[in-house]
Amino acid sequence: MNIKIVCVGKLKEKYFKQGIAEYAKRLSKFCKFQIVEVPDEKAPEKLSDAEIEKVKEIEGERILSKIKDKEYVYALAILGKERTSENFAEEIKELTTYGTSDITFVIGGSLGLSPAVLKRANTQISFGRFTMPHQLMRLVLTEQIYRAFMINAGAPYHK
């Protein structure tokens, strides 16, 4: 089983890197886990709607270049479907049981995901209506993926 997170931008904060590295190490007994970073498009603070869409389009092309046809794609989107940890674990179990061995999660940049990326996604997932820095979201997502595997293994971790 392969789990991949495709995300926009570089992770600079040491504390996020350490947390993600810990969960990646724990995940190694369940799956091949990787994070693929694509460059963010430089943009000034004040952008017109057209400029925002252009930035999302460029970042979206970079994201899509890292996704293969056979991958099942979760797009992280504030308006996506919220799940409990148990529901999420069940989804992962069902996907792997029925032949999907490549699951990809996509975290967009500060302006969000392009329509093309949202269209390519098999589903959208939300971690609530809060806006979070995408660096923090990487850590939260990695922990939740680990939690799903632990739930599916019947381990007490998630209590």
SS3 track for 86-131: HHHHHHHHHHHHCCCCEEEEEECECCECCHHHHHHCCEEEECCCCC
| Residue 108 assigned to a binding site | yes
Radius of gyration of the chain (CA): 16
| Residue 9 assigned to a binding site | no
Alpha carbon 45 to its chain's center: 25
Report H helices in the chain: 14-27, 49-64, 85-97, 115-120, 134-152
**Which residues belong to the annotated binding site?**
76, 108
Which residues carry a binding-site annotation for S-adenosyl-L-methionine?
76, 108
